[in-house]
């Protein structure tokens, strides 16, 4: 069908890229792209009385790779009561069974994202050494286009170059690694802290030196911003800050955000920010301990709102039993000490580490309730929704399948109040947060900014994803909500976004009445930097492999072509 | 009270997953409707009627429904799983997962049971006249929340992994058990009236264990603290009282560290 013509007729169109907010109109599709008009023989898809949005873009989600898979192996119980193991219909139609809740199988991941109208998902942390596994899993995830961000902020090469102030060498190394791993951009996870973890230490403060490397998190962050802008990559640095999850961490958060001051985005992809600060909810806490643990969303957002070169995503806690997994190894050890549940930890030589711990966000436990409020407050205090994106840091704060629930809470004070009322210690929670006093209800237009136009632009993909303008990818979601007459029952908002009435990707109908009807044509997107060879970096890399610093050979390191069979390569040219 | 009788008519080629054989699923249904309730044999959808002749209508609620299976269920899994009230009686053997996740009511298996009976059980009563397999009243694999309440009584012997991750309730094995009793438990009581091979209370945080026979290999993490007189399930005896597992974390209550207690019948 990709080559055929199609027209989505009579829906309420919501497209922030063209400032269209609920106008009734048509979306014409030809050859997998959105076009001005189509012939009268085009297949008609009726969207009357429903809203029509571009395919959604997830800026940060852990959906593929070794730690996700380790989580699946570690938690068979996550599959027990979830998924449709034996959906007769799916089997009859040739679809795969689905399993898992917080760490769904690759099939369920693809299907569930498609059912919610998502077209692009960024795997948020790829350990470079294990990039082949990440790509294998991405390839096994049906429907959605994906890319992956290799982690750089605890990488020995990066720390050594930056310690000597060598930004150009850092940039050359980034270019080499993106190519070797088929990666998309520069991810930072607990800069320096994960490397310090190899010594049993951490870097909670921006000025805590990393042992041996004698560099600070602040220097790593600034250096990587410079290197990222030197290259002019589509995405900015993507920062998981230090001191995640701890009471009273918000001054450190603001201090890290301030490192972006004075930098200007330099790229040809329409991106305006120089720093994307991810799952900000985990970094917006006040208090000195768990007793006075409180939300500082307002203080953090006051800074974000006036600082135009920063984007953020929420990392909303959804009050579910989930599985935390991050390259922030020391944090996972700390969390295991708090809840005593099973724990996995791994070191990735020269590059990063990771840990996994199951976690139950219990609405009756006050700090969890405060976390829930903090995530939502960030969005409700945000002034520029094109710089504020909906995520749950899947699966860390909750599974991605809860995005519709987050949308419900953001769009309806009544829904928020109902959740607050159901909490055992809601008086305490209300005293530690601002959410109860906040009346703001986000509009569908704002939701479209936070899930479509905003993240697409932030990733430098605004020319093809996140909008419905002619020339863009024909990725269209139709949701059963009447723009003129939104349901008074907010549950219906959640239901509508959970299962799209129709989802078209690349001009092909993927989901019909909430059910997957096609595996579509997924793509793996990566960034290839062309720049003059840097002899020093070439020598340093080859030495690390040949002198045995790495345990693998350089020839076995890169992601082979066959592991990423459906590539969509973005070229970046760097002049000498 | 209304009694529904199921008479086996055919042995499943694979295993019949009889997750619908519960008073809750039967409640308010006629014999014909019960015969049409779903089950699985492998990946194939089947019904109760494919393997059983059903007679008698169910009561209006689960509590008013008694189910009697007149015959062998060695290849029927999940009998009485997740039930909340009523009774199930099997005049024969049963396969795995009898009374798994059950919350209330009573199950009586007159023959033997296979593994995973009463796993993650929350309430009710499960009685077996014969032997049980492994994983009696334990947690689902991977899960750290085992049996929370209710009583399991096995009149015969049981295999290994009894009460793993147990949080509450009582398990009574009237004869012997093999290895791994109350591993990781944080509550509940396990009574073994016969002998145990070993690994009793490994990594146990809290809870009680009684062994009226012998433990062949004692865990090194247990320390004898005193000798006490106790009555356990109708048996009065002198027990050596051990605390442990000393290698595991232990919570504090009112300033006192809480250990798991093992009561081993003192040598006469």
Interchain contact, A77 vs B43, CB within 8 Å:
no
User: B194-211: per-residue pLDDT in tens?
Assistant: 999 999 999 999 999 999
What ipTM does this complex have?
A: 0.87
Q: Is the residue at A347 inside a domain?
A: no
Task: Quote the CA–CA distance of A465 and A55 in Å, as a whole number.
Answer: 7
Start-to-end CA distance of chain B, whole Å, equals 49
Among all chains, which residue has been given the structure tokens 């632009």?
A457
Calculate ∠ Cα A425-A489-A502, nearest 5°.
120
Nearest to A75 among B40, B142, B249 (CB): B142
Q: Is the residue at B249 inside a domain?
A: no
Interchain contact, A80 vs B249, CB within 8 Å:
no
Assess contact for A502 and A45: CB atoms under 8 A.
Answer: yes
Q: Is the residue at A396 inside a domain?
A: no
Q: Is the residue at B56 inside a domain?
A: yes
- What is the pLDDT, as a whole number, of residue B1? 86
Q: What is the helix (H) or strand (E) element at residue A163, kind and residue range?
A: helix A156-163
DSSP readout, A45-101?
EE-TTSEEEEPEEEEEE--SSHHHHHHHHH-GGGGTT-S-TT-HHHHHTTPPP---S
- What is the pLDDT, as a whole number, of residue A156? 96
CB atoms within 10 A of CB A457: 26
The total number of structural domains that make up chain B: 1
List of chain A residues with pLDDT < 50: 1-2
Assess contact for A128 and A181: CB atoms under 8 A.
Answer: yes
Interchain contact, B144 vs A76, CB within 8 Å:
no
Q: Is the residue at B138 inside a domain?
A: no
Contact list, A342 vs chain B (CB under 8 Å)? 144
Q: Is the residue at B147 inside a domain?
A: no
Q: Burial level of A483, CB count in 10 A (0-12/13-18/19+)?
A: buried
- What is the pLDDT, as a whole number, of residue A1? 45
Q: Is the residue at B8 inside a domain?
A: yes
Query: What is the number of CB-based contacts under 8 A between chain A and chain B?
Result: 22
CA B78 to chain centre: 12
Q: Is the residue at A210 inside a domain?
A: no
- What is the pLDDT, as a whole number, of residue A215? 97
Assess contact for B108 and B135: CB atoms under 8 A.
Answer: no
Dihedral angle sign, alpha carbons of residues A55, A61, A67, A70: negative
Parent domain of A532: 524-573
Please tell me the distance in Å from A96's CA to the nearest CA on chain B. Answer: 13
Q: Is the residue at A554 inside a domain?
A: yes
Q: What's the pTM?
A: 0.94
Q: Is the residue at B180 inside a domain?
A: no
Please tell me the distance in Å from B249's CA to the nearest CA on chain A. Answer: 9
- What is the pLDDT, as a whole number, of residue B107? 98
Question: Strands B235-244, B260-265: parallel, antiparallel or unpaired by DSSP?
Answer: antiparallel
- What is the pLDDT, as a whole number, of residue A91? 61
Q: Is the residue at A490 inside a domain?
A: no
Nearest to B140 among A77, A88, A91 (CB): A77
Parent domain of B70: 1-102
Assess contact for B113 and B90: CB atoms under 8 A.
Answer: no
3-state secondary structure of A505: strand
Q: Is the residue at A329 inside a domain?
A: no
pLDDT averaged over chain B? 96
Nearest to B40 among A75, A86, A342 (CB): A86
Calculate ∠ Cα A486-A490-A492, nearest 5°.
75
Q: Is the residue at B169 inside a domain?
A: no
Please tell me the distance in Å from A438's CA to the nearest CA on chain B. Answer: 38
List of chain B residues with pLDDT < 70: none
User: B104-147: per-residue pLDDT in tens?
Assistant: 999 999 999 999 999 999 999 999 999 999 999 999 999 999 99
The total number of structural domains that make up chain A: 1
Q: Is the residue at B1 inside a domain?
A: yes
The stretches of A232-386 forming alpha helices (DSSP H) are 250-258, 297-306, 329-339, 366-381
């Amino acid at each position: 069908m990709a080559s055929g013509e199609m027209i989505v007729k009579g829906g309420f169109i919501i497209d922030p890229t063209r400032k269209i907010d609920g106008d009734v109109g048509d979306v014409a599709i030809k050859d997998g792209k959105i076009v001005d008009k189509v012939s009268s023989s085009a297949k008609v898809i009726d969207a009357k009385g429903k809203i029509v949005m571009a395919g959604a873009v997830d800026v940060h989600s852990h959906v593929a790779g070794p730690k996700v898979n380790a989580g699946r192996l570690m938690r068979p119980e996550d599959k027990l009561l979830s998924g449709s193991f034996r959906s007769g219909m799916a089997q009859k139609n040739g679809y795969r069974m689905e399993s898992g809740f917080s760490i769904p199988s690759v099939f369920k991941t693809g299907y569930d994202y498609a059912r919610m109208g998502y077209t692009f998902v960024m795997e948020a942390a790829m350990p470079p050494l294990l990039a082949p596994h990440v790509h294998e899993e991405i390839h096994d995830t049906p429907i959605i286009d994906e890319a992956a961000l290799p982690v750089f902020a605890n990488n020995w090469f990066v720390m050594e170059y930056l310690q000597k102030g060598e930004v150009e060498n850092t940039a050359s190394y980034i270019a080499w690694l993106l190519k070797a791993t088929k990666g998309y951009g520069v991810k930072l996870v607990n800069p320096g802290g994960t490397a310090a973890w190899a010594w049993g230490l951490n870097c909670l403060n921006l000025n805590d030196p990393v042992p041996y490397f004698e560099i600070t998190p602040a220097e790593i962050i600034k250096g990587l911003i410079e290197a990222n802008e030197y290259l002019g990559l589509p995405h900015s640095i993507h920062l998981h800050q230090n001191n995640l999850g701890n009471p009273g961490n918000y001054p450190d958060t603001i201090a890290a955000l301030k490192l972006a001051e004075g930098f200007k985005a330099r790229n040809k992809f329409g991106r305006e920010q120089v720093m994307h600060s991810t799952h900000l909810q985990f970094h917006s806490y006040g208090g000195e301990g768990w007793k006075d643990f409180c939300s500082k969303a307002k203080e953090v957002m006051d800074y974000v709102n006036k600082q135009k070169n920063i984007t953020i995503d929420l990392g909303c806690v959804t009050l579910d039993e989930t599985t935390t997994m991050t390259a922030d190894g020391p944090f996972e050890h700390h969390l295991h000490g708090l809840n005593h549940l099973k724990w996995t930890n791994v070191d990735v030589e020269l590059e990063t580490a990771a840990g996994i711990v199951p976690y139950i966000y219990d609405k009756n436990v006050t700090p969890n309730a405060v976390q829930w409020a903090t995530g939502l407050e960030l969005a409700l205090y945000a002034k520029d929704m094109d710089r504020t994106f909906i995520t749950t840091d899947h699966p860390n704060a909750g599974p991605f399948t809860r995005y519709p629930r987050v949308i419900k809470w953001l769009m309806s004070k009544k829904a928020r109040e109902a959740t607050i009322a159901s909490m055992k210690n809601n008086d305490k929670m209300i005293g530690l947060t601002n959410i109860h006093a906040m009346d703001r209800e986000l509009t569908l237009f704002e939701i479209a900014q936070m899930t479509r136009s905003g993240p697409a632009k932030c990733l430098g993909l605004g020319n093809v994803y996140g909008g419905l303008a002619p020339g863009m990818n024909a990725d269209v979601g139709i949701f059963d909500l009447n723009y003129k007459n939104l349901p008074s029952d907010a549950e219906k908002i959640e239901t509508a976004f959970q299962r799209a009435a129709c989802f078209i990707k690349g001009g092909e109908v993927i989901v019909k009445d909430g059910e997957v009807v096609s595996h579509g044509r997924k793509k793996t997107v990566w960034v290839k930097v062309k720049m003059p060879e840097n002899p020093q970096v070439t020598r340093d890399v080859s030495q690390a492999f040949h002198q045995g610093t790495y345990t693998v050979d350089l020839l076995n390191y890169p992601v082979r072509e066959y592991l990423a069979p459906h590539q969509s390569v973005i070229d970046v040219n760097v002049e000498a | 009270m209304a009694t529904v009788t199921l008479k086996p008519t055919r042995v499943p080629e694979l295993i019949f997953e009889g997750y619908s054989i519960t008073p809750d699923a039967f409640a308010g249904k006629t014999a014909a409707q019960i015969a049409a309730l779903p089950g699985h044999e492998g990946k194939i959808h089947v019904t109760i009627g494919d393997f059983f002749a059903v007679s008698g209508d169910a009561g209006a609620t689960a509590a008013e429904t008694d189910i009697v299976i007149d015959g062998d269920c060695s290849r029927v899994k999940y009998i009485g799983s997740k039930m909340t009230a009523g009774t199930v009686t099997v005049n024969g053997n049963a396969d795995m997962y009898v009374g798994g996740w059950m919350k209330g009511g009573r199950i009586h298996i007159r023959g033997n049971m296979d593994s995973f009976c009463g796993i993650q059980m929350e309430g009710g009563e499960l009685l077996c006249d014969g032997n049980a397999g492994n994983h009696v009243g334990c947690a689902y694999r991977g899960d750290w929340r085992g049996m929370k309440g209710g009583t399991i009584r096995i009149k015969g012997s049981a295999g290994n992994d009894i009460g793993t991750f147990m949080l509450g309730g009582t398990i009574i094995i009237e004869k012997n058990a093999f290895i791994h009793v109350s591993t990781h438990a944080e509550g509940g009581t396990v009574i073994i009236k016969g002998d145990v091979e070993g690994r009793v209370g490994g990594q146990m945080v809290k809870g009680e264990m009684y062994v009226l026979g012998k433990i062949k290999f004692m865990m090194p993490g247990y320390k004898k603290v005193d000798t006490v007189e106790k009555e356990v399930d109708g048996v009065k005896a002198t027990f050596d009282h051990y605390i442990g597992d000393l290698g595991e974390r232990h919570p504090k209550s009112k300033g006192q560290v809480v250990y798991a207690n093992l009561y081993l019948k003192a040598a006469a």
